[in-house]
Structure formats: C-alpha cells, structure tokens
Structure 1
Amino acid sequence: MLDQHDVPSASPTDGAQPGEAPPQGRRILIVDDNADSADSLAMLLQLGGHEAHTAYDGPQGLEAAARLQPDVMLLDLGLPGMDGCEVCRRVRQQPWARRALLVAVTGWGQAADRQRSQEAGFDAHLVKPVELQALEKIIAGLAGRG
C-alpha cells in the first residue's frame, strides 16, 4: 500500500507540463464530510484535467460510486452515516471496482489507521493535507492497472 511519503516527486518530464492536461484524465469521486475540502480538491483535480465529483457522507458516497463507477475514489475515513472503511469494503464487492483505485484521504495517519485502511481494501493511504503532486502520482499509476 502506498502513502504520500512513498511517492517520488514528479519531475518536469513526468506526464503533462505545467498548465497542460494530464495524458489521460480520470473520473474521480471524492467522499468527505468537509464539503469545503472536498469541493476544493475537486476543483484542483478538474483544473488538472480530471472529471471530479463529490459526496459528503458514507451512504451518499456509496450511491454516487454505484452511479458513476469512478476510476478513482478518494475516501475520508471518518464519514457520517457509514465510515470510509465500510464504504471501501462495499465498493470492492462490485465487479466494476476491480479496476478502481481506492485511496484513503484522512487526518488519521498512525500505523493502526494505515493497517485498518489496507485491510478494508484501500490501495493507498494519504494523510491530510494531501500533497496534490503525490495524489497525481498515485492516480497516474492507475494507467498500469488492468
């Protein structure tokens, strides 16, 4: 499982040049009960050439995932209604989710938190505030997935 400290910084030759769209935009669903944070991250990802959607609690995130079938889900762990780990487990049961990248994006960064997210089925664990460059590097790694 990856975290933002495992991701090397992007060099100017990685993917798009500043101001250009990435080689392939992704459909991304951000699920976070902090609407300002979710909306800001969605805007940044859209500026980077991605299609970004938001949901603000666990059940809403699960419904949006079923409808959108995103390439990438960024899930806060401490969600109301249903925590991010349970959302992840339920999403992972869906056939379309085999190809999806699920990333825990949370303020919880202890070893036990990372272990819990890995056991739930997350591919990566990022601690807030998320470094956009680290997130983009993880998303770019999706191209190598089948």
Structure 2
Amino acid sequence: MSGHDVEVAQDGPMALRTAAAFQPDVVLLDIGLPGMDGYELARRIRELPKLGGVRLIAVTGHGQQADRQAAAAAGLHSFITKPVEPEELARLLSPV
C-alpha cells in the first residue's frame, strides 16, 4: 500500500458506493468488474460532484488500442495492463 489509505470493492456497484463514501484522490479500477464494467463505473464516478477531480486509472488485461480509446472516452486518465509493474504503479500514484 506504500503509505496510501486504501479501500477495496469487489464489484462495480460496490466500488461506486465506496468511492462516494471514501472520496479518494485516485481510483484504480479494473475494466472487467462484475455488475458494472470499469468504463461505466468511470462515467458514474464522473457524475458525482465530490469526485469530479479524482484521477481514474484503468487496470486491465486488455491492452488493445480500442481498449485505450474506450478508457479515455469514459474519462480515465491513465491505462495500465496486467501484470502491473510496481514501478509504473508508483509513478502513476505519485502526486501530479
């Protein structure tokens, strides 16, 4: 966790509720979440007034250009593919 406060959700609807309550600075979200995919989750998070400025980072096993374009269209700032390299994640989590 590298000194970060972390909350975990098991599916899209739970992630939306958790993000609304926790109000994180950064959300790592899997595109293949059950119940609501990561693209829809990103769009729904963007609709929450208190989370309009949160950084959204897609974490997925799908790294094709179409996947990256869909992530950008959904409002995700960054896109990383699995397996995630710790150095890349640390770079993305560092203050902007």
The corresponding residue for 1:75 is 29
The corresponding residue for 1:111 is 65
TM-score between both structures, scaled by the size of structure 2 = 0.95
Residues 68 and 79 of structure 2 are in contact (CA less than 8 Å); yes or no, is this contact kept in structure 1? Answer: yes
Q: 2:9 aligns with which of 41, 44, 55?
A: 55
Residue type at the aligned position of 1:135: L
Provide structure 2 residue ranges, at least 5 long, that are not aligned to the other structure.
none
The corresponding residue for 1:14 is none
Q: Alignment length, in residue pairs?
A: 96
| Matched residue SS, 1:87 | helix
Q: How does 1:119-130 map to 2 (within 5 A)?
A: 119-130=73-84
Percent identity among equivalent residues? 48
How many angstroms does 1:103 deviate by? Answer: 0.2
Provide structure 1 residue ranges, at least 5 long, that are not aligned to the other structure.
1-44
Structure number with greater Rg is 1
TM-score between both structures, scaled by the size of structure 1 = 0.63
Q: Are 2:79 and 1:88 aligned?
A: no
1:81-111 Cα deviation digits (max 9, x unpaired): 1101000001011222232110000001000
Question: 2:90 and 2:54 mapped to 1: Cα distance?
Answer: 15
1:55-87 Cα deviation digits (max 9, x unpaired): 010000011011101111000001111101000
Q: 1:132 aligns with which of 43, 63, 86?
A: 86
